[in-house]
């Protein structure tokens, strides 16, 4: 299928970049701990040949190592280069001679060093590569993670492909995004770390992802924009087809200085960038965590039928704060209708609990197997209320350190059993349910939390790391939906 | 010492409340899992007699159980009652006859139920208790955690006393605050969960904590205020003597409704509350997490010599975002002087790193034992720069899932060793250092993170759960300092 796409008449001109038949890793390290590119490509199962290139080694991680790209026997589509900037001239000629299509320069020390000769070198690299028929990704970046093609750049990324594309000027931010969000169920079509963007840049990749049928949601981390008009066109095209969630780095003088040191980016005016995003219909966020949360919301909680949240949770003080948080972020927490309150009162303790909304459940204090059923039933009743659009359940795998003699994991085990039943029963509700997590304090609770997240995403349910972050992400999702609905209507 | 204070001529009129000689737990459960009040009082080592009271049991958790308070042989200073609201009349008479001084009503189902007869009962309880010479804490609350006196209300609270007082209308919020912040080193003078505040209320406790010599920082969670003028007086008195950090629950219509169901509180106008706090010189926060973070900042990062942060961390993209975050929250991230940059360049890789500020270290990629020394040296150089007021180091115990064959904990172990050296060497710097944590994804990393937090607080160093939260907390601390400095100068 990848080949069909790559060669189809309607394929995007950059499609081939994501489907190399072979990869050479130039400057692969022969250290005992192995080369990260070679190792992670093997871990994820790249289906074609992987060629380590290093004149000082015969073998790297069990693969035959070549002294140069020219001496590799078969065709080489994609080259990852880790050798120092100053040694690139020869390598580029080798790649050209070999018919390489894409040169990914992991190497840094170019324009971002602030030194004139390095800036010139960067320009020369791109010019020469283009003359030789190659496109350049980078320099100063991690390159591509495309699970469907078996491409990756670090260990532990999921092998399973998905619907989210991430375009990131920072490799570490890309890595953190994938590591963190994959634990909440995100899977990826394309993740592109593009660094200094000397050749292929943010606009190329946005335009590609706009067309890419495997991409349903685009998340982006951008420090600088090479060509404002082109970027606006690509962003508008992408945002008219799918959600584009974008984080701008370098909004302040200090951040801009850091961006220049990082990817030689001219950060530009934050206000101009904001206007541009608003006009293009892209959704801006203000931190990497928010980029993660909002993308999770789009993947697992969209479409949100409306802003009215039914909140199910335990603890009166947290109920008050949750109602405040959700309201102040732009959602609503309406009082449940009398009938729903009456129904809830049949099985909720009177004392110290509320059935108005938030519904303060206190069911986990009930012994035996009843707690899970009662909590699931509470959620069902709340979801059935006509003035509620979706349910937010605030739960955790731990309430505090264990009682003496209880054993460190008894509480966690019990909560996990309760929540498994609740997720199972809630997945088939007619309205969406999302979960927000309470804090944990022990390794066993963390382990159980990771399992709980997995159970949720396998049921298509969004989970957020805390209630404030849930409030922000869900509100952003809802208000984005509203503005796009209005735009669609006004057309 | 406690007795000196309690009986001293200058003691606060409420001092005796915090130093009971004995505690009776009325309605203690005889269930096999034990009674939480009895069990936790024994866990923390309450030094006087604990008397479970339950007419249906002879023994609870190995302690002799009494059918009523009257039948307890020795004097009873403090009674915790868990029996239902409707059975209270007799218990109050018993307590009065026995000369009980403080009645803590864990029991809920009073005013917050919204039912007229329960509201009347609540009023009667307080009236009758006062006639019999008792003060009431609650109803509908967890009561007191006073480690110096061996008082507590749940398992796992630290036995060691400290300098922070927490006044919380919510018991669960108080519990969460203590559980979470104790892992970052907070220890407590008094934690007071006061629920419906029918007798002793927020103003009484604020006034007490203002006078309390064991309290250096006051954190508070308040839903409603009984008497605005009295509250303002108490708040102003407290805030003129020590930092008062305050979270108001029920800022919105939905939150106010929840507050009424929770503690029968009339939430009142958020704007009036804000004005009142501003005029009194108290520091307001907007979430429980922020209450935790800011209190940690006051405890371990105060006084902050100025707003200029030297940021030491790994990862270019995160450096950019950190600089933005810190600046946008009201701190500054000035470029390091040329001399400091030159000094850093001696041992920082040129490629892909910056020595301007944030300083992108990348030292953890260096093999062997050098990484720790280089990181510590980087921090030392940054701290020495004349235009830097304090150092923020963004570190974590994990960079991602392990490489195949590396073993799940190798990376975590290595990072832990590095950071232990760094903390040891940085604790003696002439300027404060604080840490913010990167995300983790494995139980072993969580375990190591908890150990790292402990190492830090034992060295008097503040740690924050992420960089955005660090930015907010430190900026709030700095700007509070500035406004109090101005007030002091203008006097």
Identify the pLDDT of residue B6. Answer: 46
ipTM field? 0.94
Say how far residue B377 (Cα) sits from the centre of its chain. Answer: 33
Which of A289, A317, A319 is opposite residue B169, by nearest beta carbon? A317
B439-472 burial: b if 16+ Cβ within 10 Å, else e: bbbbbbbbbbbbebbebbbeeebbbbbbbbbbbb
- What order of strands is seen across the sheet that includes strand B359-360? B359-360, B309-313, B390-395, B433-437, B462-464
* Domains defined along chain A, listed by start: 2-137 (3.40.50.720), 143-300 (3.40.50.261), 309-483 (3.40.50.261)
Identify the pLDDT of residue A366. Answer: 67
As a residue count, chain A comes to 491
Contact (CB, 8 A) for A437 and A396: yes
Q: Which of A155, A156, A150 is nearest to A49 (CA)?
A: A150
* DSSP run (H or E) holding A220: strand A217-222
How many CB atoms are located within 10 Å of the residue A418 CB? 23
Identify the pLDDT of residue A97. Answer: 97
Which of B221, B253, B402 is opposite residue A155, by nearest beta carbon? B402
Residues paired with A247 in a beta bridge: A221, A285
Say how far residue B155 (Cα) sits from the centre of its chain. Answer: 16
Largest pairwise CA distance in chain A: 80
Chain A residue at shortest CA distance from B355: A261
Q: What is the mean pLDDT of chain A?
A: 92
Least Cα separation, residue A377 to chain B (angstroms): 21
Measured between alpha carbons, how far is B115 from B384 in angstroms, rounded to an integer? Answer: 64
Least Cα separation, residue B67 to chain A (angstroms): 24
Measured between alpha carbons, how far is A169 from A174 in angstroms, rounded to an integer? Answer: 8
Residue B285 φ/ψ, nearest 5 degrees? -125, 170
Chain B residue at shortest CA distance from A308: B254
* Contact check, Cβ <8 Å, A314/B288: no
Residues paired with B167 in a beta bridge: B192, B220
* DSSP run (H or E) holding A129: helix A116-131
**Average pLDDT of the segment spanning A12-26:** 98
Residue A454 φ/ψ, nearest 5 degrees? -65, -45
Q: Which of A190, A195, A191, A193 is nearest to A224 (CA)?
A: A195
Quote the pTM value.
0.95
* pLDDT (tens digit per residue) in B338-361: 999 999 888 765 444 688 999 988
Identify the pLDDT of residue A351. Answer: 44
Identify the pLDDT of residue B96. Answer: 97
Least Cα separation, residue B490 to chain A (angstroms): 33
Measured between alpha carbons, how far is B208 from B188 in angstroms, rounded to an integer? Answer: 15
Structure tokens at A378: 């509470």
**Average pLDDT of the segment spanning B242-257:** 96
Contact (CB, 8 A) for A38 and A25: yes
Identify the pLDDT of residue B364. Answer: 66
Measured between alpha carbons, how far is B9 from B55 in angstroms, rounded to an integer? Answer: 41
Measured between alpha carbons, how far is A121 from A119 in angstroms, rounded to an integer? Answer: 5
| Whether residue A7 has pLDDT greater than 60 | no
Contacts of B168 in chain A (CB under 8 A): 317
Chain A residue at shortest CA distance from B322: A255
* Contact check, Cβ <8 Å, B249/A320: yes
**Residue B365 pLDDT class (50, 70, 90 cuts):** low
Identify the pLDDT of residue A367. Answer: 61
- Residue B170, CB half-sphere, CA atoms under 13 Å: how many? 31
Best interface-test mutation with B: which of A174, A289, A316 has the largest number of B CBs within 10 A?
A316
* pLDDT (tens digit per residue) in A111-120: 888 889 989 9
Contact (CB, 8 A) for A272 and A157: no
Q: What is the mean pLDDT of chain B?
A: 92
Helices and strands in chain B, H and E counts? 16, 18
Which of A223, A317, A441 is opposite residue B262, by nearest beta carbon? A317
Identify the pLDDT of residue A441. Answer: 82
Query: Which residues touch B7 (CB under 8 Å, ≥6 apart)?
Result: none
Contacts of A172 in chain B (CB under 8 A): 314-318
* Three-state DSSP string of A48-65: CCEEEECCCCCEECCEEC
Lowest mean pLDDT among A349-353, B168-172, B301-305, B343-347: A349-353
Contacts of B285 in chain A (CB under 8 A): none
Contacts of A117 in chain B (CB under 8 A): none
Say how far residue B100 (Cα) sits from the centre of its chain. Answer: 30
Name the pairing type of β-strands A390-395 and A433-437.
parallel
Token pair 């290595």 in the structure block, residue? B414
* Contact check, Cβ <8 Å, B258/A223: no
Measured between alpha carbons, how far is B45 from B152 in angstroms, rounded to an integer? Answer: 9
Contact (CB, 8 A) for A109 and B351: yes
A289 burial via Cβ count (<10 Å: 0-12, 13-18, 19+): buried
**Residue B33 pLDDT class (50, 70, 90 cuts):** confident
Say how far residue A177 (Cα) sits from the centre of its chain. Answer: 5
**Average pLDDT of the segment spanning B234-251:** 98
| Whether residue A165 has pLDDT greater than 60 | yes
* pLDDT (tens digit per residue) in B406-426: 777 888 998 999 999 999 999
* Contact check, Cβ <8 Å, A326/B254: yes
| Whether residue B396 has pLDDT greater than 50 | yes
**Residue A364 pLDDT class (50, 70, 90 cuts):** low
Measured between alpha carbons, how far is A430 from A380 in angstroms, rounded to an integer? Answer: 9
- What order of strands is seen across the sheet that includes strand B217-222? B143-145, B188-193, B161-168, B217-222, B244-248, B283-285
**Residue B299 pLDDT class (50, 70, 90 cuts):** very high
Give me the total of CB pairs closer than 8 Å, taking one residue from chain A and one from chain B.
256
Contact (CB, 8 A) for B131 and A377: no
Identify the pLDDT of residue B126. Answer: 95
* Contact check, Cβ <8 Å, B317/A402: no
Best interface-test mutation with A: which of B321, B336, B409 has the largest number of A CBs within 10 A?
B321
Query: Which residues touch B451 (CB under 8 Å, ≥6 apart)?
Result: B416
Structure tokens at B152: 């507590």
| 3-state DSSP assignment of residue B370 | helix
Identify the pLDDT of residue B275. Answer: 96
Which stretches of B303-422 are assigned E, i.e. beta strand?
309-313, 359-360, 390-395
Q: Taking the C-alpha atoms of A311, A317, A323 and A324 in order, what is their torsion angle to the nearest 10 degrees?
A: -160
* Contact check, Cβ <8 Å, A323/B223: no
Residue A152 to residues A15, A35, A175, B488, Cα–Cα distance (Å):
17, 13, 10, 59
| Whether residue B1 has pLDDT greater than 80 | no
Contacts of A39 in chain B (CB under 8 A): 403-404
Chain B residue at shortest CA distance from A250: B320
Contacts of B33 in chain A (CB under 8 A): 403, 406
* Three-state DSSP string of A271-297: HHHHHHHHHHCCEEECCHHHHHHHHHH
Residue B39 φ/ψ, nearest 5 degrees? -65, -40
* Contact check, Cβ <8 Å, A252/B180: no
Measured between alpha carbons, how far is B462 from B474 in angstroms, rounded to an integer? Answer: 10
Which of A223, A251, A350 is opposite residue B113, by nearest beta carbon? A350
Identify the pLDDT of residue B440. Answer: 86
Least Cα separation, residue A204 to chain B (angstroms): 20
Identify the pLDDT of residue A6. Answer: 47
Token pair 């507590």 in the structure block, residue? B152
**Average pLDDT of the segment spanning A282-292:** 98
Is the Cα torsion angle B429, B434, B436, B442 positive or negative in sign? positive
* Contact check, Cβ <8 Å, B351/A113: yes
Identify the pLDDT of residue B4. Answer: 46
B40 burial via Cβ count (<10 Å: 0-12, 13-18, 19+): buried
Least Cα separation, residue A96 to chain B (angstroms): 25
Chain B residue at shortest CA distance from A154: B403
**Which carries the bigger pLDDT value, residue B183 or residue A111?**
B183
If you write DSSP's letter for every residue of B262-304 in order, what string do you get? HH------HHHHHHHHHHHTPEEESSHHHHHHHHHHHHHTPSP
* Contact check, Cβ <8 Å, A113/B168: no
Identify the pLDDT of residue A3. Answer: 46
Measured between alpha carbons, how far is B352 from A261 in angstroms, rounded to an integer? Answer: 8
């Amino acid at each position: 299928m990848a080949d069909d796409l790559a060669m189809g008449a309607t394929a995007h001109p950059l499609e081939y970049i994501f489907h190399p038949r072979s990869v050479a890793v130039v400057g692969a390290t022969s250290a005992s701990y192995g080369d990260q590119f070679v190792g992670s490509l093997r871990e994820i199962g790249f289906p074609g040949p992987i060629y380590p290139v290093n004149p000082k080694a015969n073998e790297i991680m069990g693969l035959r190592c070549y002294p140069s790209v020219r001496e590799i026997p078969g065709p080489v589509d994609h080259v990852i280069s880790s050798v120092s900037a100053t040694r690139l001239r020869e390598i580029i000629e080798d790649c050209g001679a070999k018919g390489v299509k894409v040169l990914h320069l992991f190497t840094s020390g170019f324009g971002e060093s602030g030194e004139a000769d390095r800036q010139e070198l960067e320009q020369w690299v791109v010019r020469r590569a283009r003359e030789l028929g190659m496109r350049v990704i980078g320099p100063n970046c991690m390159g591509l993670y495309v699970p469907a093609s078996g491409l990756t750049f670090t260990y532990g990324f999921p092998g399973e492909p998905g619907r989210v594309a991430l375009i990131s000027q920072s490799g570490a931010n890309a890595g953190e995004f994938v590591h963190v969000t994959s634990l909440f169920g995100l899977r990826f079509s394309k993740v592109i770390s593009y660094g200094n963007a000397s050749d292929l840049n943010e606009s190329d990749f946005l335009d590609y992802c706009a067309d890419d049928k495997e991409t349903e949601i685009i998340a982006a981390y951008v420090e600088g924009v090479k060509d404002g008009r082109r970027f606006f066109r690509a962003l508008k095209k992408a945002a008219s087809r799918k959600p584009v969630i974008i984080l701008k780095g370098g909004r302040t003088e200090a951040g801009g200085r850091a961006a220049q040191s990082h990817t030689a980016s001219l950060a530009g005016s934050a206000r101009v960038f904001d206007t541009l995003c608003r006009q293009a219909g892209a959704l801006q966020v203000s931190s990497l965590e928010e980029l993660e949360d909002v993308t999770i919301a789009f993947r697992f909680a969209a479409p949100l039928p409306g802003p009215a949240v039914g909140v199910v949770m335990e603890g009166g003080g947290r109920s008050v704060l949750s109602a405040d948080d959700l309201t102040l972020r732009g959602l609503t927490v309406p009082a449940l209708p009398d009938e729903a309150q009456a129904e809830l009162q049949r099985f909720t303790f009177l004392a110290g609990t509320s059935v108005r909304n938030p519904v303060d459940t206190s069911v986990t204090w009930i012994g035996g197997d009843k707690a899970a059923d009662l909590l699931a039933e509470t959620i069902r009743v709340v979801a059935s209320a006509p003035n509620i659009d979706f349910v937010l359940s605030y739960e955790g795998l731990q309430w505090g350190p264990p009682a003496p003699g209880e054993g460190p994991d008894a509480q966690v085990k019990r909560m996990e059993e309760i929540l498994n039943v609740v997720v199972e029963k809630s997945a088939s509700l007619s309205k969406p349910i999302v979960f927000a997590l309470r804090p944990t304090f022990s390794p066993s609770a963390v382990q159980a939390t990771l399992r709980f997240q997995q159970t949720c995403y396998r049921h298509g349910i969004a989970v957020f790391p805390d209630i404030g972050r849930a409030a922000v992400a869900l509100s952003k999702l809802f208000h984005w939906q509203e503005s796009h609905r209005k735009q669609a209507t006004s057309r």
